[in-house]
């Protein structure tokens, strides 16, 4: 048995994805949604489900899961977030971050590695940390837009609304704003300053085009949703689980 750990999982693609994979591979494995109100409940869930071999982790638990793990690999440790957990036969839990692999593949498709101008990230949670790790690895400078501004790489929404997007080749939304079922929501930003020189990425995959991406596309920007990242991180998790 495998699963997805989160709080509200109606929006998730993982169960359908892995169920289809098991059918194609003629495996008797199952994939379940593990909806828990408190991340600490995962300890008893693992003990009660001896056939659990591994699970994915989604919002809001990518960072909160870490204290309940027995081990964590070096990449996940550096990122500070976990989205994949392997359950060993002795019950030991080890955390990994395959969001890094997924975003790396997505970044390759934009060919932004050839352009080292500053990128802009909306959001500072677990997914944002994976994005930051990949950008650092590729020597792409970035700023994080946050409502809680501190010294260093964080800037305010007011500053973006003042300067626009001309300073940033790549703009990435890692927040859940615009995700199903709240598809009419979008970040309040100076979309009128977008040009064909911008690339916009939204890690959301449902809907396939958020209003964030639609507004960017209509101004001439290249746009990418989170599906590539989603597929690649899922396949990387499957390999970690030993298949």
Q: What average pLDDT is seen over the chain?
A: 93
Q: Dihedral, CA atoms, 121, 158, 161, 120, nearest 10 degrees?
A: -10
- Beta partners for residue 71, in sequence order: 94
Q: What's the CATH fold of domain 2-97?
A: Rossmann fold (3.40.50)
Does 2-97 match 100-229 in CATH topology?
yes
CATH 3.30.2130.10 fits 100-229, yes or no: no
Q: Is the peptide bond before 192 cis (omega within 30 degrees of 0)?
A: no
Which element (helix H / strand E) includes 118?
none
| Cα–Cα distance for residue pair 54/40, rounded to 1 Å | 16
User: In the chain, where are the structural domains located?
Assistant: 2-97, 100-229
Whether 167 and 195 have beta carbons less than 8 Å apart is answered as no
pTM over 0.85: yes
Q: Which helix (H) or strand (E) holds 218?
A: helix 211-218
Q: What is the mean pLDDT of residues 228-240?
A: 97
Given the residues 21, 62, 86, 137, select the one marked as catalytic.
62
Q: How confident is the model at residue 107 (pLDDT cuts 50, 70, 90)?
A: very high
User: Does the annotation count 215 as an active-site position?
Assistant: no
pLDDT, tens digit (0-9, with 9 covering 90-100), for 38-70: 999 999 999 999 999 999 999 899 999 999 999
Contact 73, 98 (CB under 8 A): no
What is the per-residue pLDDT for 87? Answer: 98
């Amino acid at each position: 048995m495998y699963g997805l750990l989160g709080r509200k999982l109606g929006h998730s693609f993982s169960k359908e994805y892995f169920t289809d994979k098991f059918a194609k591979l003629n495996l008797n494995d199952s994939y379940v949604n593990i909806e828990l109100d408190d991340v600490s409940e995962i300890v008893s869930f693992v003990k009660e489900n001896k056939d659990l071999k591994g699970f994915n982790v989604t919002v809001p638990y990518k960072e909160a899961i870490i204290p309940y793990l027995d081990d964590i690999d070096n990449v996940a440790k550096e990122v500070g977030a976990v989205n994949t957990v392997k359950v060993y036969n002795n019950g030991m839990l080890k955390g990994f971050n395959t969001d890094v692999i997924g975003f790396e593949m997505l970044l390759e498709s934009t060919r932004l590695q050839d352009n080292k101008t500053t990128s802009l990230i909306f959001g500072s949670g677990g997914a944002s940390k994976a994005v930051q790790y990949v950008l650092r690895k590729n020597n792409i400078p970035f700023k994080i837009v946050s409502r809680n501004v501190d010294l260093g790489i964080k800037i305010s929404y007011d500053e973006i609304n003042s300067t626009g997007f001309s300073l940033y080749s790549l703009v990435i939304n890692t927040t859940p704003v615009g995700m199903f079922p709240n598809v009419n929501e979008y970040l309040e930003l100076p979309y009128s300053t977008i040009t064909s020189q911008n690339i916009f990425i939204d890690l959301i995959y449902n809907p396939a085009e958020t209003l964030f991406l639609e507004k960017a596309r209509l101004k001439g920007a290249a746009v990418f949703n989170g599906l590539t990242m989603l597929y690649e991180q899922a396949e990387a998790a499957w390999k970690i689980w030993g298949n």
